[in-house]
Amino acid sequence: MTRSHDLFLQAQRHIPGGVNSPVRAFRGVGGDPVFLERAEGAWVVDADGRRYVDYVGSWGPMILGHAHPEVIRVVQETATHGLSFGAPTELETRMADRVCELVPSMDMVRMVNSGTEATMSAIRLARGFTGREKIVKFEGCYHGHADALLVKAGSGALTLGVPSSPGVPASVAEHTLTLPYNDIEAVRETFARLGAEIAAVIVEPVAGNMNCIPPLPGFLEGLREVCSGHGSVLIFDEVMTGFRVALGGAQGHYGITPDLTTLGKVIGGGMPVGAFGGRREIMEHLAPLGPVYQAGTLSGNPVAMAAGLKTLELIGVPGFHATLAERTRTLTEGLAERARAAGIPFTTNRVGGMFGLFFTEAAAVNSYAEVMACDAERFKRFFHGMLDEGVYLAPSAFEAGFVSAAHGEAELEATLAAAERVFARLG
């Protein structure tokens, strides 16, 4: 019996499913979750003292690696001055200045405490700004768990969205239209019918919540064109991609300018932070300047701002993202090569410091339907094989993986050597 197993049993007494966010329970791969105790650089250490090379990175924030000494230092220093004031601080201005400098489509930014809050608030703002109610999202994209965004496609010609969770009122879900990712024709058709009622399109510019699916050429460009043509707000949800696929996010990487952007993960350096912002004309509708209400007791928290600002400073050094992308390439190409050698049908996607692994005969995976067609059973066996070998991958076939600046040659080589042994056993 491992200590993780024992801790999991204890956790389940008073925590639903023993976890504070469902994917952590390993339901997608089976078996007990590994309880983590500490982390450093590219490594995490579990409650039984086992070390793993970590490709989850707290689901994206830990782009510098875990417990970066400079980030920890500013967190400790800032904490000694008090944890929260509920009044403005200079750190918030520095953060806003930095974000608007790195992401030129953002003239103004409001800090919040999670990605969910960021997307929920951006949708409310887009609705308040346009005076419209409908929003468009894409199948397989996740934008946090606000009611309006926990919606799946309704049946066929009936475009009304249906709740994807009990507890989401049908009267809320019906305003959310869900279309296939990477299908710009579906977007054009929907706008041709309903364009004047659509407040916003929200999209992950690289989808990272159905494994990792980059946008096909023309998809993001098409969204920009359609939204501009119909007076709808284009929201890039860069909670995952922001400061990760490039310093300027996916919008910088692909050269597309959204109206609003949502951020999270990296911007907090591991502390609970989110943000949304964009065009001045839209942001000026937000309270206290305008009538759209949004607020937060802990928003702009000084310790979180300090961690985020230091992280943005350290990833802003020239060549940071090029190196990250190069390491991600070494990883995905190395894995693909070893899978091929073992005769395992396998392909990968990657953009900057995020990647996806697919057990499939298909040469490319570009849509939710193609992700769903992959061999989930083989992924589970690969996941557990890698875990046994000391490599911690996302415990689900529907999540992107993340490389950090701390993943050096030694960690990448250890990962590829482990994969070679696991592929040989997968057969």
Q: Which residues participate in catalysis according to the annotation?
A: 142, 237, 265
Tell me the residue type at 231.
G
- The nearer residue to ligand PMP, 207 or 226, going by C-beta atoms, is 207
**Structure token digits, residue 241:** 């991609």
Alpha-carbon distance of 101 to 108, in angstroms, equals 10
Collect all residues with Cβ–Cβ distance below 8 Å to 62 and sequence separation of at least 6. 39, 54, 270, 402, 404
Task: Find, among 10, 35, 16, 6, the residue nearest to 395 by Cα.
Answer: 35
**How many whole angstroms separate alpha carbon 381 and alpha carbon 163?**
32
**Closer to ligand PMP at the Cβ: 121 or 360?**
121
R_g over Cα of the chain: 21
Query: What is the closest distance, in whole angstroms, from the C-beta atom of residue 296 to ligand PMP in the complex?
Result: 13
CB of 25 to ligand PMP, least distance (A): 15
User: Least Å distance between CB 197 and ligand PMP?
Assistant: 24
Query: Terminal CA-to-CA distance of the chain, rounded, Å?
Result: 29
Between residues 66 and 143, which has the closer beta carbon with respect to ligand PMP?
Answer: 143
Closest approach of ligand PMP to the CB of residue 348, in Å = 19
Tokens of 110: 């409001």
Instruction: Give the torsion through C-alpha atoms of 164, 242, 100, 77, to 10 deg.
Output: 100
Q: What are the CA-CA distances from residue 154 to residues 149, 161, 164 (Å)?
A: 14, 5, 10
User: CA–CA separation, 378 vs 217, rounded Å?
Assistant: 30
Residue nearest to ligand PMP (CB): 115
CA distance 252 to 250: 5
Q: Tell the smallest beta-carbon distance from residue 120 to ligand PMP (Å).
A: 9
Tell me whether residue 204 or residue 259 sits nearer to ligand PMP (CB atom): 204
Give burial (CB, 10 Å; 0-12/13-18/19+) of 415: buried
> In terms of DSSP bridges, do strands 347-351 and 274-278 run parallel, antiparallel, or are they unpaired?
unpaired
Q: List residues near ligand PMP by CB under 6 A.
A: 59, 114-116, 119, 142-144, 204, 208-209, 237, 239-240, 264, 274
Closer CB to ligand PMP, 259 or 411, in the complex: 259
Task: Beginning with the edge strand found earlier in the chain, give each strand of the sheet holding 274-278 in spatial order.
Answer: 108-112, 274-278, 260-264, 233-237, 198-203, 134-138, 176-179
Query: How are beta strands 198-203 and 43-46 bridged, if at all?
Result: unpaired
- Least Å from the CB of residue 298 to ligand PMP: 14
- Rounded to a whole number of angstroms, the minimum distance from the CB of residue 46 to ligand PMP is 22
Q: 352's torsion region: left (phi>0), alpha (psi -120 to 50) or beta? A: left
